[in-house]
Amino acid sequence: MTEPQPTILVIEDEEPIRKFLRVSLASHGYRLVESADAADGLVQAASCQPDLIILDLGLPDMDGVELTRRIRQWSKVPIVIVSARGKEQDKVVALDAGADDYLTKPFGVSELLARLRVALRHTSKSDTGEAVFDLGDLHIDMVRRLITRAGQPLHLTPNEYRLLTLLVKHAGKVLTHRQILHEIWGPGSALETHYLRVYMNQLRQKLEADPAQPRYLLTEPGVGYRLNV
Amino acid sequence: MNDTRPDPDALLAEVVQQEAASHRGKLKVFFGSNAGVGKTYAMLDEARKRAAEGIDVVIGYAEAHIRPETESLLLGLDLLPYKLIEYKGATLKEFDLDAALVRKPAIVCVDELAHTNAPGLRHAKRWQDVYELLDAGINVYSTLNVQHLESVNDIVEHITGVRVNETLPDKVFDEADEVELIDISPDELIERLREGKVYKTQQAEQALRHFFNRGNLIALRELALRRTAERVDAQMRDFRRVHDIAKPWAANERVLVCVGPSPFAAQLIRATKRLASAFRAQWLAVSIETPIAAALSSDARERLAQNLRLAEQLGAQTVTLTGTNVVDELLAFARQRNITKIVIGKPDRPRWRDWLSGSIVDDLIRRSGQIDIYVVRHEQKASTNTAQNPAPPRRIHWAEYGCATLICAVATALGMFMYHVLGHEGESFSNTNVLMIDLLAVLFVAARFDRGPAIFASLFTVAAFDFTVVPPYYTFNVSDSQYLLTFAVMLVTALVISTLTHSIRRQREAARNRERSTAALLSLSRELAATREKKNIALIIARHVAEVFDSQAILFLPTLERELAIAAASGELPPLDDKELSVIRWVFDHNQPAGCGTTTLPAARGIYLPLAASSGNVGVLGLLDPRRSADPEILHQLEAFANQSALAVERAALAEESARAWERVEAEFLRNTLLSGVSHDLRTPLAAITGAASSLAETDSLSPAAGKELAENIVHEAERMELLITNLLDMTRLEAGGFQLHKEWHALPEIVGSAIHHLHKRLSQHRIVAHLPANLPLVFLDGLAMEQVFTNLLDNAGIYTPPGTEIAISAFITSDRLTIDVTDHGPGLPSTDPARVFQKFFRGGSRPDTHARRGMGLGLSICKGIVELHGGTITASNRPEGGAIFRITLPREGTPPTIDTQG
């Protein structure tokens, strides 16, 4: 690979987790910068220009959500947050504050790498993205506004189409309910999550072989949705 | 038997007495033969000395205001204000018990121990006030004249000719801790009277003439000295008993007195008390209930009860026997109780009745064998003490008189018709037959109504007979003297019949009353036996008592803070004022009955009894505005009910206590199971992780394949640990009530799908099928929580069913509920009690090939907890075609929002 080693800043107060990340990420070609608290993390984020930040929400000196907001004031660096199970609301707040994705403790290394890849890809690509997208036997042509499944054209309503293309644009990345509602129905929409659930359900009926066991349109319980790639 | 050994009962009584005495205040009585000997002076003098020693002395009540030299003693002492009672227009000064209890000095001086309190005070007698002070640990100084002692009441009357109505039970005197005799010679006393030191001069003259003559004073002085000597003697005996000095141990005399309703029985009882004291004997008072006695009038029964109470106050044990023959019962009982002397009253009936029915006294003397019989005469002029409680005036049933008049008038009319109309037509109609008709009428009235109407009927018919049938007609003159005999016979017949009927009716009523109360008691105890809960027990008691006594019943039970609260009441409860509540509180605190019909706080609206159980007082039973408060029976009957109730309430309290204890034990058990479960279930994966990780770290020659296996093992075990901890946390939150639902409108397939996705690695060996209708509406629930439920159910199915089998999840919806089934094709649930799987820490026998994937037995109980939080149910059963089925039924809440999905 000619690509330079991406630099990853880990802001995490637990030494064992930092050690695990250091060992596993180094062996997969990442360069690691470590911070044990938020204050040092902020300095490092500004000074060493990381390509991605892994941020623990439970820091001793500052709320992870607040730290996300501060970084977002001057940087678009992807932020992947790490938190314990049962803190879904914290994750949603952090994601809405500008974090790109999340990992629930405990997590495996494959899951971690997948998240990092997705987050890094979205920054390296321009926002226009590719006009044509293939997902298994699904073919999505955003120029011609045509969606086929095994060659058969599918008829989607305008909102279904917008929902699908939104997920495709952020493929592999989690989108919170609020983010989706804002994107499709506008920032002022007072619509509730269940609108989204109904459309997602319909979309699954049309796209998935078994809507109860979706392969592509995944639910992130309590947080939002993710297009599985 | 070695008779010289101290009686264990006596020793026990001694111990009890000493124990009580250690907390109790001490009573010192300044005892004298008469007013004016200087008791109050001596008491106050002593009080001054104590006060000078720095002891907290308070004068509660002192009758010193008329004697200047005594009054001067009060100077400088702490005087408790009198309680002023308005009574019949006068203001009475009384001792303020409550103020003394609040003040709680070391010593209170209360003059005149035998004083009768003004109505409206808590106790009828001052000695009861004093006892309450002693109970509160306050020492009391008091004064007493010998003539007020109950046992010498008759003697005093005999000596002085004046009946003393204010009497004091001898036990108070005997139980006093110290008695100081204040004695001066009669001459000196007379001198003091003359000088006006006792009464004001005018009164003194009168007193000297009537009461304070020298003879009387000498006799009273002798009485006082003798009574004090007796006390000293008793103390000596107590000393001997305690110190086991057996030599002059008195013969075991036991005296029995036979008590009836006669007003003279009180004399008999006092005589027996004196006899028993003289012999240093125990004594018993016995009343014998025969069928004839059962028919006693209520007056007589009241007197009998009074007599027995008197005996009890004088220290007797009282017993009521039942039987047909007085002498048989008496002697049988006497022999059984080793009675050595029987005291009975001299019969006051004419000799001819002895000839007719035999004399009890003669019979007793003839058959008494070893037992001595004492026959005691009585004073003819003895007045009864019942004046204090006048019998309620007899009600006159005018309706009965009306009926009697009507019946007699009809009979007379019939007689006239026969005699004058029929008699003149045919043969002369004998006036004897007319008399027969009249007699029939009298008979009818006598059998039907009270004695009054019967006598009235006989007089009426005789008069009418004379007036209408006996020549000269229509006058009351009688020409033939033989009719006088007719009249007399007629009258006697009416009287005899009415008396007989009356007594039969009385007996029947008495029997019915007793039967009713026995039956009521029986039904109460039967109903109580079938009840466990305190609340229900209270309701049952209130209802039964209200029914039997025909008044409103209330039951008070203490709360955990020992405050009394109404546990049950029959009917609408009128508000109870503070006074009434304080009576109830008093009853509870002092474990004695009070209220109307008793001698304590008789002004109260209700009668209140403590529920005395073995563990102490468990409540108060009250009867508001009792119908028959004058009847002494009511107290006895109510006592029987209170006893039953106390048992039941105590039992319920014990049951509650043991239930609480059981809960604690159960919680303890749960905690232990949890601890052992946690330690075992967390240590097992931890051991595996440690082992695998140390192999990886320390073994150099590990093949890459082996290393990978070890590492996978670590991941697997760590995942297992995570699941355990998640379950533990969820369970803890559910148990602690901290699990809050965040309900939203959810699409069920999404939740199910998320659960399946979550488990897809763990369930990779099973076929998961979801049968969810495409048109399923949104449902209102907590998505994360329900996902947890499905995850646990599916995981559970994965653990307990063989690989390759299908696990299906299906749902159907009706207008009011959503049903979700999770079915598997495994071996099914334990057939005995499938519901057991939802119990905490229940673990089934897992498949042998799932290598130790068993959980802690919390997963399904968490499911149950979450589903129940949603207001739903979860059941587990075996399908007829094999495998288990878990069915969740959730109520549907609200109408799902309608969404135009065409946009």
> Which residue in chain B has the smallest CA separation from A184?
B903
Residue B696, pLDDT above cutoff 90: no
> Does one domain contain both B459 and B535?
no
Q: Is the ipTM of this complex over 0.90?
A: no
> Does one domain contain both B290 and B326?
yes
Rounded to an integer, what is the distance from CA A207 to the centroid of its chain? 22
Q: What confidence tens digit (pLDDT) does each residue in B232-283 have?
A: 777 776 776 666 544 434 456 788 998 887 777 888 888 888 888 877 788 8
Is position B704 within any domain?
no
The pLDDT value recorded for residue B248 is 38
The pLDDT value recorded for residue B390 is 39
The whole-angstrom separation of Cα B93 and Cα B86 is: 9
Q: What confidence tens digit (pLDDT) does each residue in B139-182 have?
A: 999 999 888 888 888 888 877 777 788 888 888 888 888 888 88
Q: Which of A191, A205, A219 to mutate to test the interface with B (most CBs of B within 10 A)?
A: A219
Q: Which of B497, B520, B549 is the last residue of a domain?
A: B497
Q: Classify B809 as helix, strand or coil.
A: strand
> Does one domain contain both B435 and B542?
no
More confidently predicted of A203 and B702: A203
Average pLDDT rounded to a whole number, residues B198-227: 75
Query: Taking CB atoms and an 8 Å cutoff, what residues of chain A touch B808?
Result: none
The pLDDT value recorded for residue B294 is 54
Length of chain A (residues): 229
The backbone torsions φ and ψ at residue A212, rounded to the nearest 5 degrees and listed phi first, read -80, -20
Question: For B346, which DSSP code?
Answer: P
The backbone torsions φ and ψ at residue B533, rounded to the nearest 5 degrees and listed phi first, read -75, 140
Strand spans (E) along B694-765: 744-746
Ranges for all domains in chain A classified under CATH 3.40.50.2300: 7-124
Q: Would you call B903 and A197 a contact, using CB atoms and an 8 Å cutoff?
A: no
Is position B519 within any domain?
no
> Does one domain contain both B766 and B857?
yes
The whole-angstrom separation of Cα B638 and Cα B642 is: 6
The whole-angstrom separation of Cα B873 and Cα B820 is: 11
The pLDDT value recorded for residue B296 is 65
Residue B230, pLDDT above cutoff 90: no
Range in A170-184, B36-50, B337-351 the model is least confident about:
B337-351
The whole-angstrom separation of Cα B872 and Cα B817 is: 9
Average pLDDT rounded to a whole number, residues B276-292: 79
Token output for B626 = 């009792």
> Does one domain contain both B56 and B79?
yes
Query: Taking CB atoms and an 8 Å cutoff, what residues of chain A touch B899?
Result: 194-195, 198
Average pLDDT rounded to a whole number, residues B871-888: 90
Q: Which of B164, B133, B161 is nearest to B146 (CA)?
A: B164
Query: Taking CB atoms and an 8 Å cutoff, what residues of chain B touch A88?
Result: 784
The pLDDT value recorded for residue B413 is 86
Q: Would you call A201 and B750 a contact, using CB atoms and an 8 Å cutoff?
A: yes
- Fold of the CATH domain A7-124: Rossmann fold (3.40.50)
> Does one domain contain both B874 and B744?
yes
CA atoms in the 13 A half-sphere facing the CB of B802: 6
CATH code of the domain containing B766 = 3.30.565.10
Range in A15-29, B76-90, B331-345, B381-395 the model is least confident about:
B381-395
**B252 to each of A218, B127, B171, B332, how far by Cα in Å?**
102, 32, 21, 19
Q: Average pLDDT over chain B, rounded to whole?
A: 80
B793: confidence class by pLDDT, cuts 50, 70, 90: very high
The pLDDT value recorded for residue B632 is 63
Query: Taking CB atoms and an 8 Å cutoff, what residues of chain B touch A23?
Result: none
DSSP state letters, B421-451: IIHHHSSPPPHHHHHHHHHHHHHHHHHHS-H
CATH code of the domain containing B228 = 3.40.50.300
Q: Which of B723, B743, B899, B902 to mutate to test the interface with A (most CBs of A within 10 A)?
A: B899
> Does one domain contain both B539 and B655?
yes
Average pLDDT rounded to a whole number, residues B571-577: 78
The pLDDT value recorded for residue B2 is 44
The pLDDT value recorded for residue B852 is 44
B706: confidence class by pLDDT, cuts 50, 70, 90: confident
> Which residue in chain B has the smallest CA separation from A200?
B750
Query: Taking CB atoms and an 8 Å cutoff, what residues of chain B touch A219?
Result: 750-751, 753-754, 757
Q: Which domain does B884 fall in, by range?
A: 739-891
Residue B50, pLDDT above cutoff 80: yes
The pLDDT value recorded for residue B386 is 37
The whole-angstrom separation of Cα B307 and Cα B321 is: 15
H helix or E strand, kind and range, residue B288: strand B282-289
CB contact at 8 A, B880 and B873:
no
Residue B388, pLDDT above cutoff 60: no
Q: Which of B863, B852, B837, B853 is nearest to B730 (CA)?
A: B863
- For chain B, what is the radius of gyration of the CA atoms? 44
The residue with tokens 């004064």 is B143
The pLDDT value recorded for residue B426 is 52
Size of interface A-B (CB pairs under 8 A): 75
Average pLDDT rounded to a whole number, residues B227-235: 80
CA distance A210 to chain B (A): 8
Is position B109 within any domain?
yes
B749 touches chain A (CB under 8 A): yes
Q: Which of B741, B743, B785 is nearest to B896 (CA)?
A: B743
Which of B745, B753, B774 minimises the CB distance to A214? Answer: B753
> Does one domain contain both B412 and B323?
no
B747 touches chain A (CB under 8 A): yes
Residue B846, pLDDT above cutoff 60: no
The pLDDT value recorded for residue B680 is 74
B729 touches chain A (CB under 8 A): yes
B845: confidence class by pLDDT, cuts 50, 70, 90: low
Give residues with Cβ within 8 angstroms of B502, minimum separation 6: B450, B451
Is position B556 within any domain?
yes
Query: Taking CB atoms and an 8 Å cutoff, what residues of chain B touch A194?
Result: 744-746, 778, 897, 899
Q: What confidence tens digit (pLDDT) does each residue in B435-472 have?
A: 788 888 888 887 777 777 877 888 888 888 878 777 77
Cβ count within 10 A of residue B771: 12
Q: What confidence tens digit (pLDDT) does each residue in B70-115 have?
A: 777 787 788 888 888 887 778 888 898 888 998 889 999 998 898 8
> Does one domain contain both B835 and B758?
yes
The pLDDT value recorded for residue A59 is 87
What is the percent of chain B with per-residue pLDDT over 70, rounded to a whole number? 85
- Fold of the CATH domain A132-227: Arc Repressor Mutant, subunit A (1.10.10)
Residue B721, pLDDT above cutoff 90: no
Token output for A121 = 């890809």
Average pLDDT rounded to a whole number, residues B636-665: 84
Q: What is the dihedral of CA A166, A169, A174, A179, to 10 degrees?
A: -40
B744 touches chain A (CB under 8 A): yes
Q: Which of B350, B383, B416 is the last residue of a domain?
A: B383
Range in A18-32, B675-689, B709-723 the model is least confident about:
B675-689
The H helix count followed by the E strand count for chain B is 28, 25
CB contact at 8 A, B314 and B255:
no
> Does one domain contain both B167 and B119?
yes
B754-759's contacts with Cβ under 8 Å and 24+ in sequence apart are B754/A219, B754/A221, B754/B787, B755/B787, B755/B790, B755/B791, B755/B794, B756/A212, B756/A213, B756/B790, B756/B794, B756/B809, B757/A213, B757/A214, B757/A218, B757/A219, B758/B787, B758/B791, B759/B791, B759/B794, B759/B795, B759/B798
Average pLDDT rounded to a whole number, residues B764-787: 89
Which residues, given as ranges, of chain A have pLDDT below 50? 1-2, 126
Pairing relationship of beta strands B817-824 and B806-813 according to DSSP bridges: antiparallel
Q: Would you call B726 and A85 a contact, using CB atoms and an 8 Å cutoff?
A: yes
H helix or E strand, kind and range, residue B238: helix B214-242
Single-letter residue type at B535: K
Which of B718, B770, B903 minimises the CB distance to A159? Answer: B903
> Which residue in chain B has the smallest CA separation from A216?
B757
> Does one domain contain both B235 and B264?
no
Q: Which of B723, B725, B901, B902 to mutate to test the interface with A (most CBs of A within 10 A)?
A: B901
Ranges for all domains in chain A classified under CATH 1.10.10.10: 132-227
The whole-angstrom separation of Cα B313 and Cα B306 is: 10
The pLDDT value recorded for residue B68 is 72
Indicate the number of domains in chain B: 5
> Does one domain contain both B406 and B428?
yes
